[in-house]
Structure 1
Amino acid sequence: MTAQLLIGPVLRRVTGDRATIWVETSEPAHVRVEAQGGAAGAAATFCAYGHHYALVVVSGLAPGSTHAYRVTLDDHEVWPAAGSPYPPSVIRTRAADDSAQPVSLLFGSCRQGTPQATGRHLPPDALDAYARRLMADPDHRPDLLVLLGDQVYADETSHKVRRFLRRNRPAGNEAPADQVVTFEEYTKLYLESWRDPEVRWLFSTVPSVMIFDDHELIDDWNTSASWRADMSKEPWWRERISGGLGSYWVYQHLGNLSPDELAADPLYQKVSAAEDATDLLREFGLQADDPGSPENTDRPYQWSFALDLGRTRLVVLDNRCNRVLTPGARAMLPAAEWDWFINQAHGEYDHLVVGSSLPWLMPPAIHHLEAWNERAAESRRPRWAAFAEKVRRAFDLEHWAAFGKSFTALGELFRRLGEGGVGAPGHRVGAGGAYAAPASISVLSGDVHHSYVARADFGHAMATPVMQLTCSPIHNEVPLPLRPLMRFSWLPPVARVARGLARSAGVAKPLIRWKRLSGPYFGNAIGTLTLTGRTASALIEGTTRDGRLHEVAASTYRP
C-alpha cells in the first residue's frame, strides 16, 4: 500500500541552519523533506504499537531567510496537499548573528479538540483564530509556539473517542469507560486534535515546543504521595501511565530536542533503530513514572528543556512527572533537575523566559489556601490530614504554593538574578565575578482556565522586572459559577482571610508580594511575548464570537 500522511508535517525546532519536522504515516515509509534553496533531509519511519513515525532533520538552510518546503513519502509528494487552500508551509531561519533580532513567542495552554470532536459548545479556538490571521499577514510570523500543557485530554474525551472505546475494548475491561488508557487510544486524541485544518497548517509553518500538564495523563496527576498510592491500586493504571508517557514522548517531547540532543538521546537512538519499538516504549513509560526504578536512581528522565533565541533564553520546566511527593520534602523538581535549571539560569542572555505549565504567582487568596493545605495535609492528626487531602484533590490545590519550598526557591533565584552583582546567577559582564541583571524575567503559564498578568514585588528596588504571564485556555472554558470565585481571590480582604488561615497552620508569610496588572479574562485566548533589545512586551488576545482575535491585556516592561 502507498503510505499516507496521517498527521503532520509538524515543524518543531529550527536551530541555526537545521530544522526538525515530525510526521505520522499510515505505513512504513522513507520520508524526505526538501526546502527551497537546496536544503533537505530524510529519515525512515520507526514503528511502535503498529504506528509509524519519523523525525526528519533538514540541513543546509540559509540564514535569515524563508524556505517553502515539500514532503514526500517513498518519492510520492504528500505535502502541500493537492488543492490546498492554505498558503505554502515554510521554514524561517534567523540571521546568522541574531543578537539584535527581536524574539516573538506565542504561548498558551489547555486546548480541547475541534468543536466537531468535542461535541461541546465552546468559544472559538484561539489557535484557529491565530492561524487565520497569520495566513492573511504572514510577515508577523512568531519565532516559536510554546504550548504549556493539556494539549490533549485523556480524561475528558469526545463522543467520537468514546465510541471508539466502546467498540474496541474487550468485555470486562476495568478502565474508566470515558477515558483513554492504552497507547492506541492515545493516538486517537492526537489524530482528532492535530488534524484540525487551520491548526495543522499552523503547526506546519510555525516551530513549536510543548510540555505536558495533568490532563495528558489524568486530572490531579502527582498531586501528592497518597494520590500516587491510591492510583497504583487501580488495575488499569500501569497501562495508563505507560501509554500516556510513551505517546507523549513520541508526539510531543521528541520535537523539543535539537538535532544534537536527538543524536545524544539514548532512547531515541534505540527506538529509531528498532524493528518494532513497542516494548521499548512500554518499559520506558513505566520506568519514567517510577522514581524508585534503577534507571531513575541518580536522575529521572528529564522532560524539562532549554533553548536560546537571540539574546533570549527559554527554559521549560516539567511541573508534573518528576515532582518529589515525600511529605515534608515536597518539591516541584528533584534535586538533580533543579541543579540543571540553576545552570540554565547562568549564561549570556538579556531576557529569561521560564515556561511553567502551572502559574508561579496565583491569585493571592488561592496561594495562601494552597500553602495552608500543604501544611494541613502533613498534620500528625490522621483525620485532619485526610480532610486536607480531600480538599486538595477536590479543588486542585497543587500549584507552586502547594510546594512551598520550591515556590520560595524560585523566588530567591529570581531575586538573585534581578539584583545582579557578584555571585548572582546571571551573565558575566566583567572580571571579579560580577554579573549583569537580566533585562526581564517572564514566567509563562497556563492550567487555570483564565488569563492574567501579574508583577512580583521583592520589597526593594530591583532593576529586573519579574512577571507572571498566564494564558489559558486556548480552547476550553471555566464554568460560570467559578468565575466570581476567581475574581474574588484577587481581592486584598479575601487574601487577608486566607493568609490568616495559612498563618494558623504555621505557614510563614511569603517573602515576596505580587500585584495583578491585567485580568482575569475568562475567554479562550492566546498570548504573545515580544522581546526587543532590553524591552519586553506581553499581549494576550481573546477570541470574539465570530472567531477573530482582540486585545484583552497588554503590558510593556524593561529595566
Structure 2
Amino acid sequence: MTGLRLGPLLRHVDWEGNGTATVWVEADRPATAEVRCADGAYGSSRTFRIAGHHYALIPVTGLTPGTTTPYEVVLDGRRVWPPEDSPFPPSTIRSPAAAAPGTPGPGVRVAFGSCRWAAPAHGEPDPIGPDALEALATRIAAGAATAARAATTGPEEADSARPDVLLLLGDQVYADETSEPTGQRLALRRDLSAPPGAEVADYEEYTYLYDESWGVPAVRWLLSTVPSCMIFDDHDLIDDWNTSASWLADMRATPWWRERVVSGLMSYWVYQHLGNLSPAELAADELYAAVRAEPDGTGPLRRYAELAERDPAAVRWSYRRDFGRTRLLMVDSRAARVLDEGERAMLAKGEAQWVRDQALAGRASASRTDGPRPYDPDDRGPGANDRRAPYDHLLIGSSLPWLLPPLIHDGEAWDSALCRGERGPRWARFGERLRRAADLEHWAAFPRSFEELTALIAEAGSGPDAPATVCVLSGDVHHAYAAEPHWTAGDGPDAHVVQLTCSPVHNSVPAYLKLGFRFGWSRLGRRTGRLLTRHGRVVAPPISWRKTGGPWFANQLMTLTTNGRSAVLRLDHARAEDGGATLVTVDERVLSTDEKDSPMDR
C-alpha cells in the first residue's frame, strides 16, 4: 500500500487568472499521485525516482480564480492526505483573481524569514524558543476555525490570517549542524568519527534533514496550504559556502566534499527548486523532462549537479515571480559567485545581466545590455506608450542583506581590500583568515557587485513609471531590522527603497553577537568602520544608510502587505503559550501609501 512520506507542499499558484497550481509530494514507492479539489479542479502525475526516493510535482488545473478550495492527495487511488486524525483544518488552494482591465488587481501578503533549525519532537523542551513557522500555522488554523464558527464563506474572511506566499530565504536545512536525532540516524549508517562526522554526507542523509524539518505536523500542514518560494544559503550546504577561491580549493581537497556538494545541489533541486517554477517553466525544463523520462532519474540530475559545482555560470537558480502588480526577483547569492580574487563578484556576468533584465522587464525605461545606467526619460524602449510600470512593488529576495550595519559593511569592504592585496601579501593572508573566521562574505565583501546592485535598485526605482517601493528581503544574520539608503550624489530614486532583514525563523544568536550588531549601528561603530576603510583604501559607496527599525532578536517573521501602491510591514515574534507557539506583533509600519506622489511614512 502506497504511503505519503513527506508533503504535500503547495508551491506555485498562478496569479494571472489561469486557475493553476503545483503540489509537491514524496511517496514511499512508485505511484500515480493525484490532487482532487472540492470544486472539481484536478491534477495527476506519475512519480519520478531519485536515489531510491519517489517524488511528484502535480500540476493542478481548473481552479476557479478568486476562490479557496480544499484538496486531497491520492496515491494509487487511496487518499493519503489529509490524515484522518488531523487537528488542523483542511488544506486549501487559494486561486487569486486576475486584475480587471484598468484596476490595480488584488494585493498580496508576503511572509518571509530565514534560518530554521529543526525543532525538537513535539512535547520536548526547545532550547532556542518556539518555531515561528509553527506559530504561523497556529495563527492561520485559529483564523480558519473562527471563520468556520462564524459561518463565513468568503475567502477574505477565511484567509485573513494567511499569507498569500511564504518566502523562505535560506538555511531551510542545516547540513553542517544536525540535531541529536538526526545524528543517531547517521550513526546507524556510518562511523561518525570519520569526516564529515555528524554532518550529512550524501543524498540519503539530506532526505533525513527534510524529513525532520518538514515533517513537524504544524509545519507540514502550513506548507500544504500556503504557497512557498525558496532559495538556499550556506547552511543548506555548509557554513561559509563559496566564501573565497582559497576556501573552495581547501574544500575540494577533502575526500568528502564532492559528494556533499553534489548531493546538496541534487536535493535542493528536488525538494526546493522545482516548486519555484511555473507550469510553463517546468514544461520547458530539459532536466525535468530527462529525469521523468527515465525509470531512475538519478543519473541526469547528478550530472546537472556536478556541472553546477564545476561551472556555476552554466546553471541558474535565481527566478522571478509576479504576484499581480508585485514582482519578486529571487537572487542566488551563493552558487552564482565568481571567486577568483581579481574578478570577484557576487553574481557571474550572465547572472547579473539576467537579474537586471528581469528587474526592468516591461518597464518603459527598459534595460539595455551595456550594464547599469541612469534612467533616461527619452528611452523609447518596449512599452514606451504605457508609462505605467508592470509592477507597483519590486521585491528583491537575497539570502544575504544588501545593507548591513555600517561597521560590518565597512569591515567586510576593508577585508576584501586586504584580500586582494591592497596592503600587501602579509595583510592579504590575514584578511583571508579573518574572512573565514568572521563570515565576511556578504554583498559588502563583493564591492563591485554591491555597487551594481545599488545602481540597479536606483534605476528600477526611478522615472515616471517607477514603482512605489523597492524592497530587498533578506535573512542570514539572526536578527531583524529595517534600513533605508540615501544616495550621496544627486537625487535618489523615486521609489521608497528599504532593506528588510528577518532572521531567524527558528535559531538563536549569542549575547556577544547581539552587542556586536547593536554596536555596528552606533555612531562609534560608524566611526570605527571609517577608520578601517581608510586603512584599506576603500572607495566610499555611492549611498549611506540608516536603521529605521530594530535590531530585533527573537524567532520571527516579517509580513509585507501590498495593495495598489500601498505597502505595510509587520514584524511578529514567536512566543510560547499554553504548551504551543503563538505570534505576537511587535512592530508595524507603513512603507508607502496608495497615492504615488504622497510622502512615505518612514
Structure-1-length-normalised TM-score: 0.94
Change (3 A) 1:485 1:38: same
* 8 Å CA contact 1:37, 1:67 repeated in 2: yes
Q: Are 1:375 and 2:417 matched, yes or no? A: yes
1:138-537 paired onto structure 2 within 5 Å: 138=144, 139-140=159-160, 141-169=162-190, 174-291=194-311, 299-346=313-360, 347=362, 348-379=390-421, 381-420=424-463, 435-459=464-488, 460=491, 462-537=493-568
Q: 1:119 to 1:265 in 2, by over 3 A?
A: farther
Task: Give the deviation of 1:83 after TM superposition.
Answer: 2.0
Q: Deviations over 1:203-241 (max 9, x none)?
A: 000000100000000000001111111101000111001
Q: Which one-letter code corresponds to 1:17 in the other structure?
A: G
Note the C-alpha offset of 1:332. 1.1
Q: Within 2, Cα distance between the matches of 1:317 and 1:205?
A: 25
> In the alignment, which residue of structure 1 is the partner of 2:142?
136
CA contact (8 A) 1:418 1:464 kept: yes
Matches of 2:267 and 2:339 in 1, distance apart?
Answer: 24
Distance 1:175 1:249 in 2: 25
Q: Distance in 2 between matches of 1:275 and 1:287?
A: 22
Could you list the per-position Cα deviations for residues 82-115 of structure 1 after superposition, in whole angstroms to 9, with x for gaps in the alignment? 1211100000011122632111101000001112
Residue 549 (1) aligns with residue 583 (2): yes
Q: 1:88 aligns with which of 66, 71, 90?
A: 90
For residue 463 of structure 1, report the CA deviation from its aligned partner. Answer: 2.5
Q: Could you give the per-residue CA deviations for residues 21-65 of structure 1, whole angstroms, max 9, x where no partner exists?
A: 000011111101111221101011111111110000001111111
Query: Residue 30 of structure 1 is aligned with which of 29, 32, 41?
Result: 32
Question: Please, which of 112, 123, 131 is the counterpart of residue 117 of structure 2?
Answer: 112
Give the C-alpha shift of residue 551 in structure 1.
2.0
User: Residues of 1 paired with 2:506 and 2:250: CA distance?
Assistant: 31
Query: Any idea what SS the aligned residue of 1:478 has?
Result: coil
Question: In the alignment, is the contact (CA less than 8 A) between 2:98 and 2:105 conserved in 1?
Answer: no
Write the letter of the residue equivalent to 1:135. Answer: A
Aligned residue in 2 for 1:429? none
Aligned partners of 1:174 and 1:236 also within 8 Å: no
Paired letter, 2:176: D
Which residue of the partner structure matches residue 42 of structure 2?
Answer: 40
Question: Shift of residue 325 of structure 1?
Answer: 0.8
Deviation at 1:508, TM superposition (A): 0.7
Alpha carbons of structure 1 residues 182 and 119: separation in structure 2 relative to 1, 3 Å:
farther
Higher mean C-alpha displacement, 95-104 vs 524-533: 95-104
Q: Which residue of 2 aligns with 1:423?
A: none
- How far is the alpha carbon of 1:172 from its aligned partner? 8.9
Q: 1:156, 1:84 → 2: CA distance?
A: 31
Contiguous gaps of at least 5 residues in structure 2: 145-158, 363-389, 597-602
SS of equivalent to 2:188: helix
Is the deviation greater in 540-549 or in 38-47?
540-549
Contact kept, 8 Å, 2:32 with 2:46, in 1: the verdict is yes
Indicate the residue corresponding to 1:4 in structure 2: 3
| 1:280 alignment partner, SS class | helix
Is the 8 Å Cα contact of residues 174 and 235 (structure 1) preserved in structure 2?
no
Contact 2:418 2:536 in 1 (8 A): yes
Paired residues of 1:350 and 1:534 also in contact (CA < 8 A): yes
Q: Quick one: distance in 2 between partners of 1:180 and 1:119?
A: 24
Rounded to whole Å, the distance in 2 between the matches of 1:280 and 1:174 is 30
Given the superposition, is the C-alpha separation of residues 461 and 229 from structure 1 closer, same or farther in structure 2, using an over 3 Å criterion? closer
Partner letter of residue 233 of structure 2?
D
Cα shift at 1:554: 2.5
Deviations 1:225-266 (A, max 9, x none): 111111010001110011000000000000000000001111
Matched-pair contact (CA < 8 Å) for 2:405–2:520 = yes
Superposition deviation, residue 461 in structure 1: 5.4
Say how many residue pairs are matched.
537
Structure 1 gaps of 5+ residues are 421-434
Give TM-score, length-normalised by structure 2: 0.87
CA contact (8 A) 1:115 1:122 kept: no
How far, CA to CA, are the matches of 2:405 and 2:416 in structure 1? 17
CA distance in 2, matches of 1:267, 1:105: 30
Kept in 2, the 8 Å contact 1:521–1:552? The answer is no
2:504–2:554 CA contact under 8 A, matched in 1: yes
**Structure 1 CA distance for aligned equivalents of residues 584 and 82 of structure 2:** 30
Please report how far the alpha carbon of residue 119 of structure 1 lies from its aligned counterpart in structure 2 after TM superposition.
7.8
Aligned-partner SS, 1:555:
strand
**Which is worse superposed, 261-270 or 532-541?**
532-541
> Secondary structure at the residue paired with 1:326?
coil
SS of the equivalent of 1:412 reads helix
Question: Could you tell me whether the CA contact under 8 Å between 2:98 and 2:106 is conserved in 1?
Answer: no
| Offset at residue 120 of structure 1 (A) | 5.6
**Contact 1:166–1:177 (8 Å) recurs in 2:** no
1:117-147 deviations in whole A, cap 9, x for unaligned? 9986111000100110001114222111000
Amino acid at match of 2:116: R
Give RMSD over aligned pairs. Answer: 1.5
> 1:462 deviation in Å?
4.0
User: 1:153 Cα deviation (Å)?
Assistant: 0.1
Structure-1 residue corresponding to 2:66: 64
